[in-house]
Structure 1
């Protein structure tokens, strides 16, 4: 079995990707500093897969420790790099914290493995800003980021692209996600925000279960079907499977170049009010929500053209908005009965 390193592997997307790598026959090593995740996720992963994943608690900003880790794990054949700070609001307040963590961790990883690496990088559709044309393709220009977090994704892509241009042994696929939601069908892992959720779906589930007050819909006067903002939501399990497809593409040396970019979404835009309606319909739970003003920095509407991922990665999202909402709700109920 090929051995894959998953950095940030106890996080939301990382933990689901660990499961899908296991299902695909890979051996997995998880590295995480646990600054934004819960160590109990390791037990949950063992319950789901029947196998305890190798885990190393490590701050990837510590250059010497990352180098020592790489020397001890010379049999790693690929890396999926999730580890990064990701709270948009905090990044505005503490930009240096985000630039230090999100860049040093990436650079240390590449240097530690002597740039001989198959690397899948966790990027974001935030690099597009408000696109001029929808659906947005991978060829669309990137726009000035709305936050230091978004800027770290843009600059990290530039770091990787420029390094690949002069380093043939470094092979990278950057995956630009749209909006990951949902949870594993077992309801044993899912999104676990620390503090008040910044994303819509965990706020919905926490509101429905009584942990939060009414949901605020930020704006109902956008140029959309019902006036609320539009996003391309993707089930986290579908997203995890795309990372497996990306690793396989790198292993098979099928990439068109040693730096590639793919959009990951469903290719369909869904409004905030449609998400609320889908949650109510799929769970039978009635939500309490109010209409508020627009938020500064919010994009009006964005969804992706995902045909490149379909044609070249051989990957297509399979789960719809109903499965996203019902699985997220099952996870929230699990947390109520089994608090972390």
Structure 2
């Protein structure tokens, strides 16, 4: 079985990807500094797959520890790189933290594999498109100036990877530009575990529904959309995890598009914030306490992706709809209430 390094593998998307890699016959190896995740997630993964994944705790900005890890694991054939600082608001307040952590960890990894063939899947984002000119947005849409240092790190990281793959013969790279991951594993043993106040919509919804938060604020209902609220392409985290496995499999076979490629990963459908709230209420049976507030600076009005390239070339498609997204997230929130992960 091929051994795949999953950086940030105890995080939200990383932990689900570890599960799907194991199911697909791979041996996932996790490196995480636990700055935005919890060590208990390893036990949760073990409950799902029956074995505890190999894990090492260190920061990928540490050159010596990264070199030592790679020398001790010479049979790693692929990397799925999630590890990064990711809070948009914090990146505006402390941009140097984001530029240092997100770039140096990536460059350090790439440098360590200068002499070795490696398949590399990068966790990118639809934020690279900004406010798109046309919908659904395709991979050929222009990359626009980012509204945050976090988004800028995704754009520049893609450029670093494309130029690195072009210059050196040993890197095979796919960047997955995904939209809005939501939901949780069907077992309710892993899911989104935000530190402090959630930055994303769905954990704020579930925390409000269960009583952790007093109310949810919808930022604006006067946008040029059918119900006035912003529209996003929500994708179930399990479908997203499976896309990473499909990307590794594509690279192993040899991507006919060359050494560097990008794919949109979403459902191809847009749901407004108010529609997402209604879907949650329907799936959970819970009435949500929410209020409408003023618009929030930097919010894109509407974005959803054209995912036909991923369907055709990755052989991947999103299978889980909005009801499964909402019901699984609610099941996870209720699990956390009875089994706190601190």
TM-fit CA distance, 1:65: 1.1
Alpha-carbon distance in structure 2 between the residues aligned to 1:123 and 1:254 = 18
Alpha-carbon distance in structure 2 between the residues aligned to 1:14 and 1:255 = 27
Corresponding residue for residue 95 of structure 2: 95
Q: Structure 1 residue 278 and structure 2 residue 273: aligned? A: no
Corresponding residue for residue 332 of structure 2: 331
What is the number of equivalent residue pairs in this alignment? 340
Corresponding residue for residue 81 of structure 1: 81
Corresponding residue for residue 234 of structure 1: 235
Give the secondary-structure state (helix, strand or coil) at the position aligned to 1:34.
coil
CA deviations 1:190-210 (Å, max 9, x no partner) are 000000001100000000000
Corresponding residue for residue 194 of structure 2: 193
Alpha-carbon distance in structure 2 between the residues aligned to 1:55 and 1:33 = 10
Q: Is the 8 A contact 1:3 1:76 kept in 2?
A: yes
Q: Is the 8 A contact 1:110 1:117 kept in 2?
A: no
Q: Is the 8 A contact 1:84 1:102 kept in 2?
A: yes
TM-score, normalisation: structure 2: 0.99
TM-fit CA distance, 1:254: 3.0
Q: Is the 8 A contact 1:6 1:29 kept in 2?
A: yes
Alpha-carbon distance in structure 1 between the residues aligned to 2:155 and 2:332 = 32
Q: Is the 8 A contact 1:8 1:82 kept in 2?
A: yes
Structure 2: stretches of 5+ with no match in the other structure: none
Alpha-carbon distance in structure 2 between the residues aligned to 1:311 and 1:28 = 26
Corresponding residue for residue 112 of structure 1: 112
Q: Is the 8 A contact 1:78 1:117 kept in 2?
A: yes
TM-score, normalisation: structure 1: 0.99
Alpha-carbon distance in structure 1 between the residues aligned to 2:42 and 2:9 = 9
CA deviations 1:69-97 (Å, max 9, x no partner) are 11111100100000000000000000000
Corresponding residue for residue 148 of structure 1: 149
Corresponding residue for residue 299 of structure 2: 298
Corresponding residue for residue 129 of structure 1: 130
Corresponding residue for residue 257 of structure 1: 258
Structure 1: stretches of 5+ with no match in the other structure: none
TM-fit CA distance, 1:158: 0.4
Alpha-carbon distance in structure 1 between the residues aligned to 2:94 and 2:118 = 31
CA deviations 1:83-125 (Å, max 9, x no partner) are 0000000000000000000001001111112252100000000
TM-fit CA distance, 1:265: 0.2
Alpha-carbon distance in structure 2 between the residues aligned to 1:150 and 1:254 = 27
Alpha-carbon distance in structure 2 between the residues aligned to 1:147 and 1:254 = 32
Corresponding residue for residue 22 of structure 1: 22
Corresponding residue for residue 157 of structure 1: 158
Give the secondary-structure state (helix, strand or coil) at the position aligned to 1:287.
coil
RMSD of aligned residue pairs (Cα, Å): 0.6
Alpha-carbon distance in structure 2 between the residues aligned to 1:156 and 1:60 = 15
TM-fit CA distance, 1:283: 0.8
Give the secondary-structure state (helix, strand or coil) at the position aligned to 2:59.
coil
Q: Is the 8 A contact 1:249 1:255 kept in 2?
A: no
Give the secondary-structure state (helix, strand or coil) at the position aligned to 1:202.
helix
Q: Is the 8 A contact 1:234 1:317 kept in 2?
A: yes
TM-fit CA distance, 1:255: 3.6
Q: Structure 1 residue 71 and structure 2 residue 71: aligned? A: yes
Structure 1 moving runs of 4+ over 4 Å: none
Query: In terms of mean alpha carbon deviation, does 112-121 or 34-43 score higher?
Result: 112-121
Q: Structure 1 residue 311 and structure 2 residue 312: aligned? A: yes
